[in-house]
Amino acid sequence: MALDALVPAAAGGQTDPYFTPEHELFRAQLHRFVEAEIKPNADAWEAAGSVPRAVLRRMGELGFLGVRYPEAYGGSAMDTLATAILAEELGRSTFGGFAITVLVHTDMASPHLANAGSAAQQARWMPGIVAGTTITAVAVTEADAGSDVAGIRTTARPDGDGYVINGAKMYITNGVHADLVFVAAKTDTAAKGSRGVSIFAVERGTPGFSVGRALEKHGWLSSDTAELVFQDCRVPASHRLGEENRGFYAVMRNFQNERIVLGAQAMGEAQAMMALTLDWVRGRRAFGATLWDKQAIRQRLAMLSAEIEAARRLVYHAAWLDAQGRDCVREVSQVKALCGELVNRVAYACQQFHGGMGYLRESVIERMVRDARIQSIGGGATEVMLEEVAKRLA
């Protein structure tokens, strides 16, 4: 079964009640780009450990990096549903490392500038972000503070006309090669809990800012991930985004977008795994028949296909709620919990049905299984997400 078959065929320019003809055109353009320019080349990026900058610039030229940003900066001024399409189609590429490299830039890091940056800050950095010449990362997570943003220990001490940042960040996607990093740091160390956090834009090459080490990972191999170190790193006050001591709320605000993106990416990956596995079981023979002829196998795949479609619908609904400006913390948390777990169940089953071939590094499904594992951990672990849902069930 070709992956093309999983892209809804156009019907009068609109195929889904959530999407407009503009959305569907965007999906089709992105799908063609992934098929022509990503899938034939991304194995080399896995080996190299990063996505070439030329690829990101090409995506900028095609308008894929500024989907939600104003036309004045080269963006398309679309909505959250367009973001979901972007993440789903990149997930369907089968290369999770490539997908997350792009999505961190477009929907996890740069939104801090879009949401809280001043007009001068946006004019300075946003054109390059949309063009793919300025690649971004977001540095919130620390070794002892992941989803618990209140546990941040990195500090930014006011000093003259700027701030001096000290601390370290861990598991930072795009951290090795990013040109601009949005850093969460405590500006009021006496404040309790989530209070006293501010966000700063730190450019590569700033004295006192360095990559501590590139991190080797279980999956997402074409995504560079780093430990970042700040040692008496001075930034001007003009690099602070938004109000001092209000950064926690900025991080929380963007978590919703981040989790929709991760859910959509996971469902794109799940669709691709299903397509690969359907092709495999229809051709693989065992005990005198194809694997597809085995009732237990085809029924399990049928049930997984139903679960994938249901989860996709939840992703779309959460994206629609967000686009309408509605409170959707519960739905977004459900998306992140459900999709992160489901993509791993799909991965397990699909690898099982590939048999020994599914365990070889040369098979696509083996790579996808490794890439899927992080989906229930990164961006809010399943257990954290379920607590967010539970709070809103009472």
Q: Which residues are catalytic?
A: 258
CA distance 311 to 250: 27
Residue 226, classified by CB atoms within 10 Å of its CB into exposed (0-12), middle (13-18) or buried (19+), is buried
CA distance 257 to 104: 11
**Bridge partners of residue 165, in order along the sequence:** 156, 233
Q: Give the Å distances, CA to CA, from 295 to 289, 298, 307, 356.
A: 11, 5, 18, 21
SS3 content of the chain, % helix, strand, coil (to 5): 55, 15, 30
Nearest CA to 201 out of 265, 255, 266, 247 is that of: 247
CA distance 140 to 154: 9
DSSP 174-197: TTTT-SEEEEEEES-TTS-TTTTE
Q: Give the Å distances, CA to CA, from 87 to 83, 92, 115, 251, 346.
A: 6, 9, 20, 20, 18
CA distance 189 to 195: 9
Relative to beta strand 197-203, strand 225-236 is unpaired
CA distance 221 to 255: 24
Question: CA quadruple 300, 303, 309, 315: dihedral positive or negative?
Answer: negative
- Residues whose CB is less than 8 angstroms from the CB of residue 105 and which lie 6 or more positions away in sequence, other chains included: 56, 65, 129, 135, 136, 137, 174
Residue 150, classified by CB atoms within 10 Å of its CB into exposed (0-12), middle (13-18) or buried (19+), is middle
Nearest CA to 338 out of 305, 281, 374, 376 is that of: 376
CA 291 to chain centre: 34
Q: What letter does residue 2 receive in the DSSP assignment?
A: -
**141 by DSSP, 3-state: which?**
coil
